[in-house]
Structure formats: structure tokens, C-alpha cells
Structure 1
Amino acid sequence: MEIYERGNLSTRQPQTQAQKLASPDSSSSTIYLQTPTYNELRLQNAFVSSANNDAADDACSMKSALGGSQVFPQLLDTFSPQGALYVHYYQITVGGAQQLAPNRVASKPSLSMAFLRGPQSIPGKQMLSKSYVVICIDFQPKTKVAKPIWLQSGMKVNPNNGAMSSTLAPIIPYQAPNPQPGTGTHQYVFLVFEENSAGLWATIRSKPQARASIFDLFNLKAFRAQTGLNNLVAGSFFKSTHP
């Protein structure tokens, strides 16, 4: 099958997202491609640039919100987001430092990610090709106790809409936030890490200490060191108290 671009072959321009058109001869195996005009390309680039700017603004806002919380320095020493994480509960998108009643966050949320580098850039394509680990931590600033209530590996980012999903069973299934009376305000922190090449499941199986720490006296910094979760990509959080 031959592929041609409409127009003078000697003056072809690089094609981006060329559009297939019906062949004038339905019996022909030739497919003609139409090159986007300059204005079409400019609009596409402007749209991508605007989306990247929105992601950068959202990531910066979340960094500021986390910086003003007690997540620093108890859970994290530094945070330089490479994308904006969107945590979607029913009719709610977590924006950072919100106070949400437990019954509004009882069901597992859906997640989506917008990287700061566009999907057509080399860094953006590399980020989209990777797998990620999502962990949600119930953090009690009053007692400095941290407990993972959701741990999911093998998360991929859909390049078309940013939705995150995994075909693997969760290491810790989502547990509905349930702050107990007298424990004060809890902070529920979602963090996205780049997964190591071996995969978190395999790493945990080979390291009993890391496996044990998930369920007893959890320490995020130690867990990251044991499992190679070195690259923190994005984060979000909300607050909740006993009704």
C-alpha cells in the first residue's frame, strides 16, 4: 500500500496527525493524507500549550497546599511535581486542603494525571510509557501516625484523557476514610511514584521488611528506600474529621 500526501511531493511538510481521506478511486489501495494548515497547527499547539499551563498551575497550587500542611516534614522532605494529579470522588475533585466528610469519600476515587510536559514531547512520551504506584495515606498530625489505606501498582496513564488505571490487583484495596472520635483532623494524602522496573509486587515479595511495614508502624520514607520509589511525580490531599 502506498501513502501519499496531497500536493507537490517535492515540497512536503512534516505531517502531524495527518488525516486519512477517502480515495477518489474506491478500488485503489492508495490512501491520501491531508496536511494540517498553518492555522490548524497553530490552534493545536495553542491548545496543548494551554493544557500544559493549566497542569502547571494546578501542580503549583497543590505544592503550595501540601507545603502549608503538616505533611512536611513528617511524610515528605521535598516535593517537585512533574504533573498535576486529579482525585475524583462523586461530584468532587480534590483541590488540596479541602475538609470533606467521610461519607463523601467512602468509595474509591478515580484518578487522572496531566504531566507538565506535553504528550508530544520526548519527556512527555517517556512519562506516558511508564508505570506508576499510587498510595493513599491516612496521616494523623496529632499523633504523627501514618497508615496506608490504598496501595495500587501498575498504574498507566491514558494518553488521550489522562485517566489512570491498572490491570493488577491492589496491594491494599481502598479503605474508606474513617477518622475516629478524639483523633482530630486527619490528612488523606495521595502520592504517585514512578514504579521501578521490577514492579512493586515483586519488590515487596522479595523484601519481608517492606511487606511487614505496610501493616505495622508504617514509615513512608523507609518504605520508599526499601522499594525504590525514588521519583515522586505528583500528589494531592484532603482533610477529614469524625462527624
Structure 2
Amino acid sequence: MIYISVLALALAPFVAAQSTDHALDIKAIEAHFTQSHVVPDLLSSFNPSALLSLNFAGVGDVTPGQPLTKEQVGTTPVVTVTPANSSVQLSGTYTLAMVDVDAVGADISKGVNRHWLVNGVTVSSSTVSNSSATAITPYAGPWPAAGSGPHRYVVLLYEQPSTFSAPEGFTQTGLPVAPMDFAAYVQSSGLTSLVAATYITVEEGTATASISATSAVVTSTLGQSSSHGSSTASGTSSSASATGSTPANNGSSRTLSSVAAMSLLGAAIITFIAA
């Protein structure tokens, strides 16, 4: 019993650090947004302070860039947000949005289709709640045109400042899916802090036009990168691209390393006790 107690005390700080330190996860989502061209197509830069997760009924939690069918994402997902570290407090109200940034290389100069826009959402126990919020555009599942390639549907959570004011044309509820100048909306409404974001890809049929190539995100190399949020990576372990390859599980390398380290330490302690 004494040895077990010592082991628990020794591992407690290690386990706590693994559960609260999301530095590698933040690097991974930043890299995903760069390699998929969401930065700079939609956002000029991306430095989140939290991680956003989507859970669709029948699918479960999805990873950044995960290819899904329009049937799989037809119902409103459960949105959760996890602070990058203990210094990030998720209180107050937020704006939640989902926009269609089209396929990589598409011309979106005339705007992006709005599929979800809700003001005044709150975060309770990490879950984003819109029960008392204002749904400018209620969730409308992705529905890309057949043959137009894998569309990038980006879900974003912005902090609403006390000075927030919905711009002209966005004060009514129940507005349908429609093109919008998303950057102009963010600026004119006073949304300044993008807390977290993620994206999925949805494609209908086979692309009839050439889609711009993207590089892969290799999570096992992100911790070695000296550039914060760099999308440049080498190696062959878990990777994902914006054009439909199997997406990486953010932080997987760190998690596997952690489990391996704990297993080795546990084995060493057991051997010592047995001796």
C-alpha cells in the first residue's frame, strides 16, 4: 500500500499537467487552419485561446477537417469548448457562427454562405448553450453543390464585448442561409477576440474541377517546431489534409507518449515491489 501511495503521489502532477496543458493541441489546430487555407482565405490570422469540438448525432466527436456527408451533419451539433490553460476563463456571452468557405482555391471574394449565426451564447461546463441566445440564422446543415469539391465549413466562437451591437441587416432572427461578408460583420459588430474555431469538410459527388493541393498536418512534429502554429511538418505519422484524407487526432502523439511513459513507470514500480 505504501508503494502504491507513493506512485499515486508521484504521478498526480504528471497526470494533471497532461489534462490541462493543451499547447500541442493549439499548435495542431493552428496548423490545420493554415494548411487548409482557412488562413488566409477567411481569417487573416488564427491564435485561439481554447479548443472547439463538434459532436454530431450518430458520428460523435469530429476532428479538424474531417470529411463528412451532408446527411451526417444535417442536425445541430453539440459544441464544446476547452480552455488552452487555466488562465483562460470562459464567461460572459459569445457569438457562434458557421460559414462555408467553399473548396480550396475557390473565389470567395463575394462573400461566404452563412449556415449558422447565433448571438449571446454562453458556456456552461464547457458546453456552448444557445437556449437563451438570439439565432440570427438557426443551424442549417452543409449542402455543397454537386461536383464543387470538398467545402470547408468553419465553426467559430467569438467573445462578445460589452459594446457588441448587431450590424444593420442582422437584427432579425430566422434569416436563411445566404452569402455574407463575414469579415465586415465581425468588424462592424465589435467582435474582436476569436476564442476558438474548427472546421469540417463536406463534398457532394466528385469534383469536376481541379482542387488546389494542400500540405499535411503531422501532429508528431508540431512539438518540435520552434515556430508557433507552424504548418510545416515532416515525417509519416498521423496527418490530415483539407482535401479528404484521414484527419489527425490532435495531440495524439503527446497522449501516446504520456501513456507510454506512465506504463514504463508503472512497470518499474511493480518490478521493484515484486523484488
Q: TM-score, normalised by structure 1?
A: 0.70
Give yes or no for the alignment of 1:155 onto 2:117. no
Return the offset for 1:169: 3.7
TM-score scaled by length of structure 2: 0.62
What is the CA–CA distance in structure 1 between the aligned matches of 2:157 and 2:36, rounded to whole Å?
A: 18
1:117–1:42 CA distance, 2 compared to 1 (3 A): farther
Which consecutive unaligned segments of at least 5 residues does structure 2 have?
A: 1-6, 206-275
Q: Residue 149 of structure 2 aligns with which residue?
A: 184
- 1:56 equivalent in alignment to 2:23: yes
One-letter amino acid of the counterpart of residue 82, structure 1: S
Distance in structure 2 (CA, Å) of the matches to 1:71 and 1:157: 25
Shift of 1:89: 0.9
C-alpha distance in structure 2 between counterparts of 1:44 and 1:132, whole Å = 34
Tell me which structure has the larger Cα radius of gyration: 1
Query: Would you say the 8 A contact 1:106–1:176 is kept in 2?
Result: yes
Structure 1 residue matching 2:136: 3-state secondary structure: coil
Contact 2:136 2:170 in 1 (8 A): no
Mapping of residues 97-136 of structure 1, within 5 Å: 97-118=65-86, 123-124=87-88, 127-136=89-98
What secondary structure does 2:188 align onto? helix
SS in 1 for 2:204: coil
- Give the whole-Å Cα distance in 2 for the aligned partners of 1:92 and 1:57: 22
Amino acid at match of 2:150: T
Q: Which amino acid aligns with 2:61?
A: T
C-alpha RMSD of matched pairs (Å): 2.8
Cα distance change, pair 186–168 in 1 and its aligned pair in 2 (3 A): same
2:220 aligns with none
- Unaligned stretches of 5+ in structure 1? 1-38
In structure 2, what residue type is equivalent to 1:223?
A: Y
Aligned partner of 1:68 in structure 2 is 35
Higher mean C-alpha deviation, range 207-216 or range 82-91: 207-216
What letter is aligned with 1:163? T
Tell me the distance in 2 between the aligned counterparts of 1:156 and 1:40: 36
Give the match's secondary structure for 2:31: helix
Name the stretch that deviates more: 65-74 or 226-235: 65-74
For residue 181 of structure 1, report the CA deviation from its aligned partner: 1.5
Q: Which has the higher contact order (CA 8 A, sep 6+)?
A: 2
